[in-house]
Chains A and B, each alone.
Chain A
């Protein structure tokens, strides 16, 4: 289980995250939503320990992450970056094997190869195992990166927009793959995502970031006309179809949302 308490982060004098707290349980995907620059990626990087927050604590299954050694942290928490691994002349197998790095002493052992093989077949990447990353499509590459994070055997998984730049079919495939892996392995997954409907379909918990703090947090019920207008600055209609909520955008509001002034800020530049 992932517990985050009171994360505060600023780039210089500009406050990006103002006391963010959240909780993700095992086997659950939690979506972080908000406009560009709302601090989604920054929050993930603070939890990951890549950025150092000014205040706040991250607990991994109750243990304080700031007291863990680098490798210990890497064994317990995986990360899938927004754009990743392109251009490296590595095979899929090698890229997934990289996920074993926190577990490997001197050389990759039989157990490491076994884990890699299992993950590869679980994600249906077997036919690509010896292909180079620079020969893969966007969807395949994204699945390989998820496979690498799963090979890490983490209890917690952080994903930064895993479906951006993917076509419709690949968006669904990647999310289905992720959903299955999270459920079967009992991973607590925290995911920054732009596509509201995709989030509604595949996650059970939602955190709406706005103006550096949590605007709303909870189940699908927090996604409604009012919250969408406040957070995204967009008028929407929310419908229910087949038991699932769906958001249909109508128009951009004349007055941008609360966090309109944050557009194009650091978080956006750093992706």
Chain B
């Protein structure tokens, strides 16, 4: 490394390793997706899955694979990307390693908004049967209401962030307070539903990927993917923000606008995912951290990495939730909480240095 030539060369090797890691995670997600589609009561082989995907399988298999399982896998991937990238950006612009949609109360805000829209504004109905307890008739109204809920939590966080001295823990404590408030609101809202059943109250508390249909998947994708692209576009700005506001400004970053727009869009992503699937805790916290650990916090690689990792994690959790005590399907939110809560404790114990 004494030669100047080798500095650039070893840097190139170093960045290539990051790209390989991201590609590896993406490939694993793809493989897991195919594998996940073979699981279930109707036995389907991986080959049949691939055939069905290219339209070469018999009708029954095609029906199961494409119309039931594919939509579920894709929903897990899109929601995983969305929640993970939202968490990644929130951690970046708030300079808070504990930030995520769930720990800041944004998800709970979205759930409350969605519940209110369905129960009070007639955007859907709450039934008494367990699995499909909630029927959404007007997904747009639900999403908008969820977004209003999410953004109100976000605004509260942004107001707190203005107080420069606020510590990361204090911000999270405030987030927990907002979260509890919204969760209580959600529970109470559902008691006012026409068919009051305990099962329906669980709907937003623990998210479930199985609730997504093609229409909802389409709306989720239409919001998540362009926003993720916007985040990628701003990657240099997030990197600059890591060195503090003044330095970022000296590097030409519009700090205020970047922070506001990013938080706003991260909330929007969270809102669509939560309004259709319910609260899926900790994906937004865990997957960016896993990626940071491996490839560092350079947002040029962290953003795509977090997207891939989020997709993989949520898909894995969903696959687990379908198979662990089959035929009973556990809510995926419960699985992700099992995974995320220990990491959250670990980060606290470690002294939450940004890693």
Tell whether A244 is near chain B: CB-to-CB under 8 Å.
no
Q: Name A74's closest neighbour in chain B (CB-CB).
A: B252
Given contacts A90-B297, A90-B298, contact A113 B8 (CB under 8 A): yes
Which of A48, A75, A87, A98 lies in contact with B246, CB distance below 8 A?
A48
**Inter-chain contact B250/A104, CB cutoff 8 Å:** no
Tell whether B251 is near chain A: CB-to-CB under 8 Å.
yes
Tell whether B236 is near chain A: CB-to-CB under 8 Å.
yes
Closest beta carbon of chain A to B302's beta carbon, Å: 9
**Inter-chain contact A85/B242, CB cutoff 8 Å:** yes
Give B307-355 interface residues, CB cut-off 8 Å to A. Answer: 353-355
Tell whether B4 is near chain A: CB-to-CB under 8 Å.
yes
Contacts of A113 in B (CB 8 A): 8, 11
**Inter-chain contact A88/B4, CB cutoff 8 Å:** no
Contacts of B296 in A (CB 8 A): 89-91, 94, 132
**Inter-chain contact B11/A93, CB cutoff 8 Å:** yes
Q: Name B9's closest neighbour in chain A (CB-CB).
A: A117
**Inter-chain contact A98/B252, CB cutoff 8 Å:** no
**Inter-chain contact A101/B7, CB cutoff 8 Å:** no
Closest beta carbon of chain A to B41's beta carbon, Å: 45
Tell whether B244 is near chain A: CB-to-CB under 8 Å.
yes
Closest beta carbon of chain B to A65's beta carbon, Å: 12
Tell whether B194 is near chain A: CB-to-CB under 8 Å.
no
Which of A73, A81, A88, A120 lies in contact with B252, CB distance below 8 A?
A73
Given contacts A98-B243, A117-B8, A126-B7, contact A50 B250 (CB under 8 A): yes
**How far apart sit A89 and B250, CA to CA, in the bound complex (Å)?**
21
**Inter-chain contact B249/A91, CB cutoff 8 Å:** no
Tell whether A78 is near chain B: CB-to-CB under 8 Å.
yes
Tell whether B20 is near chain A: CB-to-CB under 8 Å.
no
Closest beta carbon of chain B to A89's beta carbon, Å: 4
**How far apart sit A270 and B167, CA to CA, in the bound complex (Å)?**
15
**Inter-chain contact A88/B246, CB cutoff 8 Å:** no
**How far apart sit A112 and B1, CA to CA, in the bound complex (Å)?**
20
Given contacts A88-B297, A94-B298, A121-B4, contact A74 B10 (CB under 8 A): no
B-facing mask of A67-92, CB < 8 A → 1, else 0? 00011011101110101110111110
Contacts of B180 in A (CB 8 A): none
**How far apart sit A67 and B97, CA to CA, in the bound complex (Å)?**
37
Count A-B contacts at CB 8 Å.
105
**Inter-chain contact B251/A89, CB cutoff 8 Å:** no
**Inter-chain contact A79/B355, CB cutoff 8 Å:** no
Give B229-280 interface residues, CB cut-off 8 Å to A. Answer: 236, 239-240, 242-247, 249-254
**Inter-chain contact A48/B7, CB cutoff 8 Å:** no
Give A167-226 interface residues, CB cut-off 8 Å to B. Answer: none
Which of A79, A87, A88, A91 lies in contact with B250, CB distance below 8 A?
A79
Closest beta carbon of chain A to B46's beta carbon, Å: 37
**How far apart sit A134 and B354, CA to CA, in the bound complex (Å)?**
9
Give B1-36 interface residues, CB cut-off 8 Å to A. Answer: 1-2, 4, 7-8, 10-11, 14
Contacts of B249 in A (CB 8 A): 48-50
B-facing mask of A111-126, CB < 8 A → 1, else 0? 0011001101100001
Identify the interface centre among B4, B249, B251, B252: most chain A CB within 10 Å of its CB. B251
Tell whether A129 is near chain B: CB-to-CB under 8 Å.
yes
**Inter-chain contact B4/A77, CB cutoff 8 Å:** no
Closest beta carbon of chain B to A253's beta carbon, Å: 33
Q: Name A49's closest neighbour in chain B (CB-CB).
A: B249
**Inter-chain contact A81/B247, CB cutoff 8 Å:** yes
**Inter-chain contact B252/A129, CB cutoff 8 Å:** no
Tell whether B211 is near chain A: CB-to-CB under 8 Å.
no
**Inter-chain contact A84/B243, CB cutoff 8 Å:** yes
Given contacts A93-B11, A126-B1, contact A45 B240 (CB under 8 A): no
Tell whether B69 is near chain A: CB-to-CB under 8 Å.
no
Give B83-116 interface residues, CB cut-off 8 Å to A. Answer: none
In the A-B complex, the 3 residue pairs with the smallest Cβ-Cβ separation, listed nearest first, are A74-B252, A79-B250, A88-B242
Chain B residues in contact with chain A, CB under 8 A?
A: 1-2, 4, 7-8, 10-11, 14, 236, 239-240, 242-247, 249-254, 292, 296-298, 353-355
Cross-chain pairs A/B with CB under 8 angstroms, 12 sampled: A50-B250, A79-B247, A81-B250, A85-B242, A90-B242, A91-B296, A93-B14, A94-B296, A113-B11, A117-B8, A129-B7, A152-B251
Q: A74-B252, A91-B296, A104-B236 are in contact. List 14 more A-B contacts (CB 8 A).
A: A50-B245, A50-B249, A79-B246, A83-B244, A85-B243, A88-B297, A89-B355, A90-B298, A94-B239, A98-B239, A101-B236, A101-B252, A126-B1, A127-B1
Chain A residues in contact with chain B, CB under 8 A?
A: 45, 48-50, 70-71, 73-75, 77-79, 81, 83-85, 87-91, 93-95, 98-99, 101-102, 104, 113-114, 117-118, 120-121, 126-127, 129-130, 132, 134, 152, 158
